[in-house]
């Protein structure tokens, strides 16, 4: 599944209550790829190189498994966590963004618990891989969001990203967005790409296609209505972009996915 221009492949996803004698040392398991943890009970201590993190209830941690980690918890207060082990095709970029803290290792996303509950409800019944990934996508989308910096203009870019995800049809022109951040157009493009790994245009297209896929599956809107609502003035242009991103045309997508 494509999340913020990262091609994510979930290997396994599990919710677990840890045993009192639990500990985890990543370099002894030969893992590759990434782990995402969400703690829903008690605390976990994470040591990585010379750094130490305390992960508390309601917080997430993103593990880059090219580095070694040693994780423990209090045997008297066993932790409970949601774990997603995944691979990423453009892993070098994700490594870099985690390393320079553009994407934070430790986070406390406000809507993560709600999205996780929706995902758990989805996988309890009979469902396809596509449906599972659709409900899992918002979970990863929150984790892979750019860090909201204390520097005001970078914070505005983070807010623009959220608005693109939520309402891509309401995003103004590139000139308007750059002016909103206090940058020239070229400066805005460079900083946006530095924070997200893609240009504003590419990010907006991905957000529109993600929204279109949801509407095609869960609404009664026609392809023309969806294209118009997402800000497309040319239905053929919308269909061409959708095909480029998914390999099928919008009119085919819902039928093939449900089938």
Q: CB atoms < 10 A from the CB of 82, how many? A: 20
Token pair, residue 188, equals 């805005």
Q: Which portions of the chain are predicted below pLDDT 50? A: 148-150
Write the DSSP string, 129-185: HHHHHHHHHHHHHHHTSPP--SSHHHHHHHHHHHHHHH-GGG---HHHHHHHHTS-H
Alpha-carbon gap, residue 66 to 91, rounded angstroms: 10
Is 50 exposed, middle or buried, given 0-12, 13-18 or 19+ CB atoms closer than 10 A?
exposed
Phi, psi of 24 (to 5 degrees): -145, 125
pLDDT of residue 226: 93
Give all domains of the chain, ordered by start, each with its CATH number: 2-143 (2.60.120.10), 152-258 (1.10.10.60)
Token pair, residue 88, equals 């990423």
- Do the beta carbons of residue 250 and residue 242 sit within 8 Å? yes
Alpha-carbon gap, residue 98 to 105, rounded angstroms: 6
Phi, psi of 122 (to 5 degrees): -65, -40
Residue ranges with strand state E in 156-229: none
Token pair, residue 216, equals 């095609």
Please state the pTM of the whole predicted model.
0.56
Phi, psi of 5 (to 5 degrees): 75, 10
Token pair, residue 158, equals 């983070």
Nearest to 118 by CA among 133, 103, 99, 100: 133
């Amino acid at each position: 599944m494509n999340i913020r221009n990262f091609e994510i492949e979930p290997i396994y996803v599990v919710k677990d209550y840890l045993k009192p004698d639990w500990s985890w040392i990543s370099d002894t398991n030969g893992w590759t790829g990434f782990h995402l943890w969400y703690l829903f009970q008690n605390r976990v201590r994470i040591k990585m190189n010379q750094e130490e993190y305390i992960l508390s209830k309601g917080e997430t941690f993103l593990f880059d498994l090219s580095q070694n980690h040693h994780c423990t918890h209090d045997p008297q207060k066993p932790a409970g966590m949601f774990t997603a082990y995944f691979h990423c095709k453009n892993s070098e970029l994700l490594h870099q963004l985690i390393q320079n803290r553009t994407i934070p290792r430790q986070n406390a996303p406000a809507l993560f618990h709600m999205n996780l509950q929706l995902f758990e409800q989805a996988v309890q019944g009979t469902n396809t891989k596509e449906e599972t990934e659709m409900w899992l996508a918002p979970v990863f989308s929150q984790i892979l969001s750019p860090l909201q910096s204390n520097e005001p203009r970078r914070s505005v870019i983070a807010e623009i990203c959220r608005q693109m995800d939520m309402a891509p049809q309401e995003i103004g022109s590139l000139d308007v967005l750059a002016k909103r951040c206090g940058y020239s157009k070229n400066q805005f493009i460079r900083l946006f790409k530095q924070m997200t790994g893609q240009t504003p245009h590419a990010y907006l297209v991905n957000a529109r296609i993600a929204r279109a896929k949801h509407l095609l599956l869960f609404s009664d809107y026609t392809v023309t209505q969806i294209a118009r609502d997402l800000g497309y003035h040319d239905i053929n242009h919308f269909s061409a972009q959708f095909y480029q991103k998914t390999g099928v045309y919008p009119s085919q997508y819902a039928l093939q996915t449900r089938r």
